[in-house]
């Protein structure tokens, strides 16, 4: 995005389970608020009333056990189609900073690479659902899958029900990790890979520095 542009700034966060996305998003929102910004935070699947129903269906509904990969792909895409038009594009048009907890790289990787739906099919559905707007920058928090699983177990409350994706075997998450790293290689200008095993504060600083590098004007007020 050019610095003079008035089309907002779109940031997405990606990574496998337990990678620390939520923590980093929290840190970033705090820094942006301290600098006088009021970013819009959305999550996928979800982020709109329709999307939150789809999220329930995908993750926790007792009826989702027999969901096919094709239905799963279309549900993620439906949630995104709603989110983009109802929330993301209007906020960007109003020159806001938008932070999305996952965006279309998740579909490319989880449904494409890990569920093995052909890449061309996923790409064409992604294009239909999300339109042409892509994040200005995507932070990929890369973490060893065993470590990610250990973190999930550590923070889980004994009464927590694991969601449908969290029931997948380690091999699925190995595929997710490699899929993300391949996406980063395919889009080196957009996707910034961060080592999620590093201390939280260090990762948060790297994220702020990357944003300043990408737009001095917009992010000049954030403290490094």
**Residues within the interface to ligand TMP (CB under 6 A):** 17, 43-45, 76, 102, 106-107, 110-111, 165
| Min separation Cβ 22 and ligand TMP, Å | 8
| Min separation Cβ 16 and ligand TMP, Å | 8
Closest CA to 210 of 31, 40, 7: 31
| Min separation Cβ 9 and ligand TMP, Å | 20
| Min separation Cβ 106 and ligand TMP, Å | 3
Using Cβ positions, the residue closest to ligand TMP within the complex turns out to be 110
| Min separation Cβ 182 and ligand TMP, Å | 16
| Token pair in block for residue 93 | 């048009």
Return d(Cα 101, Cα 21) in angstroms, integer. Answer: 7
| Min separation Cβ 107 and ligand TMP, Å | 4
Bond from prior residue into 48 cis (ω within 30 degrees of 0): no
Please measure the distance between the N-terminal and C-terminal CA atoms of the chain and give it in whole angstroms.
22
Q: How remote is the C-alpha of 145 from its chain's centroid?
A: 17
Return d(Cα 212, Cα 167) in angstroms, integer. Answer: 38
Which residue, 102 or 177, has its beta carbon nearer to ligand TMP?
102
* Pairing of β 9-15 and β 40-43: unpaired
Sign (positive/negative) of CA torsion 224, 43, 107, 6? negative
Residue by residue, DSSP assigns 9-21 as EEEEEEE-TTS-H
Phi–psi pair at 193, nearest 5 degrees: -85, 130
């Amino acid at each position: 995005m050019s610095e003079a542009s008035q089309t907002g700034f779109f940031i997405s966060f990606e990574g496998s389970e337990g990678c620390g996305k939520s923590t980093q998003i929290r840190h970033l929102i705090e820094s942006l608020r301290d600098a006088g910004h009021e970013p819009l935070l959305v999550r996928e699947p979800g982020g709109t009333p329709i999307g939150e129903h789809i999220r329930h269906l995908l993750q926790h509904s007792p009826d989702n056990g027999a969901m096919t990969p094709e239905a799963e792909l279309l549900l993620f895409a439906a949630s995104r189609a709603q989110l983009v038009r109802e929330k993301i594009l209007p906020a960007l048009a109003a020159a806001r900073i938008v932070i999305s907890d996952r965006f279309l790289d998740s579909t490319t990787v989880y449904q494409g690479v890990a569920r093995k739906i052909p890449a061309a099919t996923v790409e064409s559905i992604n294009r239909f659902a999300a339109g042409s707007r892509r994040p200005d920058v995507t932070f990929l928090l890369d973490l060893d899958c065993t470590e990610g699983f250990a973190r999930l177990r550590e923070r889980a409350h004994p009464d927590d029900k694991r969601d449908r994706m969290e029931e997948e075997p380690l091999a699925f998450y190995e595929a997710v990790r490699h899929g993300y790293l391949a996406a980063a290689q395919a889009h080196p200008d957009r996707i910034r890979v961060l080592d999620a095993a590093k201390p939280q504060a260090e990762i948060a600083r790297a994220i702020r520095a990357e944003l300043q590098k990408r737009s001095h004007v917009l992010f000049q007020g954030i403290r490094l």
